[in-house]
Amino acid sequence: MRTLFLFISLAIIMLSGICVVVFADGGNKRECGSMRWTDKGHGDNKPKEKLKQESNSKDICTLSKDIDQMKTKGAIKDWTQFKESKVYNTSTEEQKKCLKEGFDSPDSNHKKNLAEYEIQYCGTDND
């Protein structure tokens, strides 16, 4: 009887843990995480538009989509200028913090910049 009680108790605890993991939203850290689009593949990696130009005319969700579809590529090298962009100014506080952390993390050449994949991550929480 005691073994049955322990088994049922353990099963209930495990099931409730699974429900929390499956149904939790993770705090909705990124506002664009729920965006869905058809992945067109990453082809020849020849972008149609530059990241710096696009950051001034698009919000982070739209730019994240364009980055994923290889329409936009590049890196932001001037943080002060980027802070004036539409991407930055329409982002949530959590996204702004993520963007700043991405910029402050040096690349392989030990230089600060914000690569397109970092912007996409901050917008969608997807690598």
> With contact defined as beta carbons under 8 Å apart, do 56 and 86 qualify?
yes
Question: E strands along the chain, which residues?
Answer: 49-50, 72-73, 75-76, 114-115
Dihedral pair phi/psi, residue 37, rounded to 5°? -150, 160
pLDDT tens for the 127 residues of the chain, in order: 677 665 576 667 766 655 444 344 444 445 676 666 565 555 554 554 588 888 889 999 999 999 988 888 889 999 999 999 999 999 999 999 999 999 999 888 888 999 999 999 999 875 4
Handedness of CA 59, 103, 47, 42 (dihedral sign): negative
- Using alpha carbons, list the distances in angstroms from residue 56 to 38, 46, 50, 94: 24, 20, 11, 20
